[in-house]
Amino acid sequence: MGDIIVSEFMSLDGVVQAPGGPDEDRSGGFEHGGWVFQFERGEDDEFKLNEVLESDALLLGRTTYDIFAAYWPNVDSDDPMAAKLNSMPKYVASRSLKDVEWNNSTLIEGNVPDEISALKREVAGDILVYGSAQLVHTLMEHDLVDEYRLMTFPIVLGSGKRLFGETSDTTTLQLVDTKTVGSGIVILTYQPAGTDVEE
C-alpha cells in the first residue's frame, strides 16, 4: 500500500503558487513568481534530492506536469535528481491532456479519487506530489493524503493559490517532524491526526 506525500514550497500565508520562476502558473493575476529565490535555502537541495530518491512514483496535476516535462528531460543525466525524475513512474491527473510524452508517464483521466485510490494499492512505496494545487485539493477532499511536507518560507504574499482553501470540514493534523534550513525556512511534516508515527 503506497503513501501519498504532498510536498510543497509554501509562504507563511499558505500560498503555493509559482514558487520557482516566471514560467510557472501565473493565473488569477498572480504577480509573485519565483518568490523562493529571495531566500538562501541551505540544505533544501539535499532534502529535496533525498525526498525524490526515496520515492517510488510521482503524481502531478496538468500544470505542474507541463512545467516538469519541459524542464527535467533536458537536464544532464549525471544530475541524480534528473535521473530519478526522468526514470521513475509518473502519473498525471488531467481532463484536458490527451497524451503524456515524458518518459514513463501514465495519464489519469477518469474518476480521479477512484483511480488514485487504486494507485495507492498498486504502488508499494511513497507517491510524491509536487505543486499541483488543484489536484492536492481533490486528494484532501477524499482523505487520500498520508503526509504533508511543507517547506515554509518567511514571506507573506497576500494573494495566490493556497494549499488549504476554504472548506466546510475541519481537519486535524499532527506534527511529526521539523527542520530549519537556510534563512528562516522551516520544513514542517504533518500526518493526519490518528496516524501511527514511527519512533
Write down the pLDDT at residue 32: 79
What is the residue range of 127's domain?
3-192
The structural domain count of the chain equals 1
Give residue 14's pLDDT.
93
Q: What is the band of 193 on the pLDDT scale with cuts at 50, 70, 90?
A: confident
In a domain, 197, yes or no: no
19 close to 36: Cβ distance less than 8 angstroms: yes
Mean pLDDT over 172-178 rounds to 95
Beta partners for 153?
11
Least confident residue range of 6-15, 45-54, 188-197: 188-197
**Range list of H helices, the chain:** 44-53, 62-71, 80-87, 112-122, 133-141
For 85-113, b/e burial (b = at least 16 CB within 10 A) is bbebbbbbbbeebeebebeebebbeeebe
Q: Is 198 a member of any domain?
A: no
**% of the chain exceeding 70 in pLDDT:** 92
10 Å CB burial of residue 7 (0-12, 13-18, 19+) is buried
Grid look-up 482523505 returns: 143
Q: Residue 166: inside a domain, yes or no?
A: yes
Q: What is the pTM of this model?
A: 0.91
The verdict on residue 124 lying in a domain is yes
Selected residue with higher pLDDT from 138 and 194? 138
What mean pLDDT, rounded, does the chain reach? 90
Question: 3-state SS of 142-181?
Answer: CCCCCEEEEEEECCCCCCCCECCCCCCCCCCEEEEEEEEE
| 3, pLDDT greater than 50 | yes
What is the predicted pLDDT for the residue at 197? Answer: 54
Residue 199 in any domain: the answer is: no
Q: What is the CATH number of the domain that holds 30?
A: 3.40.430.10
pLDDT digits (tens, 9 = 90+) for 68-124: 999 999 999 899 999 999 999 999 999 889 899 999 999 998 899 999 999 999 999
Q: Domain for residue 87, yes or no?
A: yes
